[in-house]
Amino acid sequence: MTSILMFYHLVVASSVTCLKFLLMPSYYSTDFEVHRNWLAITNNKPISQWYTESTSQWTLDYPPLFAWFEMGLSLVAPFFDPKMLRISAKPYSSYYTIFFQRLTVIVTDLIFVYAVFQWIKLLKNNKHLQRYKIRDELYHPAVVLSFLFLWNPGLLIVDHIHFQYNGLLSGILLLSLARMVEEKFIESAFWFSILLNMKHIYLYVAPAYFIYLLRVYCFDKDLKFLRVNFAKLSSIVGGIFIFSLGPFIVMGQMKQLFARLFPFGRGLTHAYWAPNFWALYNGVDKVLSILLSRKAENAAMTGGLVKQYQHAVLPSVPLFSPTIISFLSMVPILVQLWKKCDQQGHSPTLFIRSVILCAFSSFIFGYHVHEKAILMIILPLTPLALISPMDANIFFMLSSIGTYSLFPLLFKTGETPIKICLLLLYSIYSYQALTKINFFDKPGAASLLLPTLDRLFLLGIPILQLYQTLGPYVIPFYAKLPFLPLLLTSTYCALGVVYLYVKSYLLTFKLRNVEEF
């Protein structure tokens, strides 16, 4: 059986890898130069200068383990183009540089492919999926899960066009989550600690890990503290952090390191507003400033400049307020996680839901959130969509809205057909697959997966896209309002994402019988 699952998985993985190679000549963002510069820094500078080097504006601002990863890649880079390792203020690109950097993303995605297969094996014995009668190999649960993970259009857009390494990082996260489901707590903590020291954005979900590991591994059912387990856990987590941060502690560079990792002062929102609560807040302030004829710092708010700005009408948000609000919004699910584990012991599905809601809370209320962080919610939600009809609804909606919210990252006309086709292909297959798996024995499958309100909301997406695609040619005032397409996309998607956040929270507290992995 495992060999059959592996075969299905490899077929899907091979198909998407072929697409990744075809996308190599496509547009790439400034993140391409960011990572090229990091290759140069880690190759040419001693470790003591990694976080002080500032020849280029794209300074190193990921944790040390990612810097070591870049240094490892830089050892291979000269075989493609030695010039890419020169530190310079000006961007550098060549055919071989593009090929090399694109190839590193494709190769490191093998971690993601491996992690997805671990999830396929986990779901193999799930009672819900065992009830599913396979009538079409295209909708075999192994094929469905592989497709939903590996063909995720947001991941393809961000990594293989825009350019980043989210596949690698997401693979480590999924591997850590899989090991937690298997009750391999130490290994799960190991991989998550590695992840935190590669990209600190995963602090978003650290509270769920902390509460769950503390309750199920460091205490027994009678709340007796298990010192040996705590010592094992502390040694693994502490050892990784010491290995990562130790050299910088010894060199007295922790202040400089943290200034790079947490550059407070960039502003409440990113250049393009992530579709969250603050996008709605900014949007309301923008509309009110126009209605009341008040001047706002429009360039500062939408230009991505490293500075604070003041809202025109609504109260400006204090620097640390988003972080506090984010944490407070996590407290209910963290309390629920602790209590349920008191009653039930190990509850992996509730843990996964807690990870999702912690990521959701941070995305909705966090400070200077990047729109790409939506993937941290969508990917852990994916396996739940196969075993829970309600989660299938939330997953389908969020993957559709979340992917569309990433469209402005690819603003060139040439990439428009690619991003539209990726989203359409994924949405059509997801709809068919989730309908068959979750509702094969029930009438009215369409209304269960997509209630009327949800369908009406999704209809707004093609209307928005038509406005942005055809607007410059058919709408006279389009050029006079250059901010409007981004504002409409961000705020409209924000309405959907906030709605799904509330829906996810209510679902988690409403559930009585949880379908476990």
User: Rounded to a whole number, what is the largest CA-CA distance in the chain?
Assistant: 71
Q: What is the rounded CA–CA span in Å between residue 92 and residue 98?
A: 10
* pLDDT at residue 442, rounded to an integer: 64
Q: How many distinct helices (H) and strands (E) make up the chain?
A: 23, 0
Q: Which residues 6+ apart lie within 8 Å of 487 measured at CB?
A: 273, 283, 286
- Quick one: tokens of 84? 């890419």
Q: What is the rounded CA–CA span in Å between residue 64 and residue 257?
A: 9
Q: What is the rounded CA–CA span in Å between residue 374 and residue 8?
A: 28
* pLDDT at residue 344, rounded to an integer: 64
Q: What is the rounded CA–CA span in Å between residue 455 and residue 478?
A: 28
Q: What is the rounded CA–CA span in Å between residue 284 and residue 289?
A: 8
Measuring CA to CA, which residue among 119, 132, 12 is closest to residue 435? 132
Give yes or no for a contact between 437 and 448, defined as CB atoms under 8 angstroms apart.
no
DSSP letter at 159 equals I
DSSP letter at 304 equals -
Give yes or no for a contact between 143 and 137, defined as CB atoms under 8 angstroms apart.
yes
Ordered per-residue pLDDT tens for the chain, 517 residues? 678 888 889 999 999 999 999 999 999 999 999 999 999 999 999 999 999 999 999 999 999 999 999 999 999 999 999 999 999 999 999 999 999 999 999 999 999 999 999 999 998 877 777 776 777 778 888 899 999 999 999 999 999 999 999 999 999 999 999 999 999 999 999 999 999 999 999 999 999 999 999 999 999 888 899 999 999 999 999 999 999 999 999 999 999 999 999 887 777 887 778 999 999 999 898 888 888 876 655 444 544 444 556 788 888 888 889 999 999 999 999 999 998 886 667 789 999 999 999 999 999 999 989 999 999 999 999 999 998 889 999 999 999 999 999 999 998 888 999 999 999 999 999 999 998 887 655 666 666 788 989 999 999 999 999 988 888 777 777 777 777 888 899 999 999 999 999 999 998 888 755 556 6
Strand partners, 225: 219
* pLDDT at residue 306, rounded to an integer: 44
Count other Cβ atoms within 10 Å, centred on residue 510.
8
- Where do the domains of the chain lie? 2-252+321-510
- Quick one: tokens of 29? 């963002």
- Quick one: tokens of 12? 């899907």
- 219 three-class SS: strand
* pTM (2 d.p.): 0.94
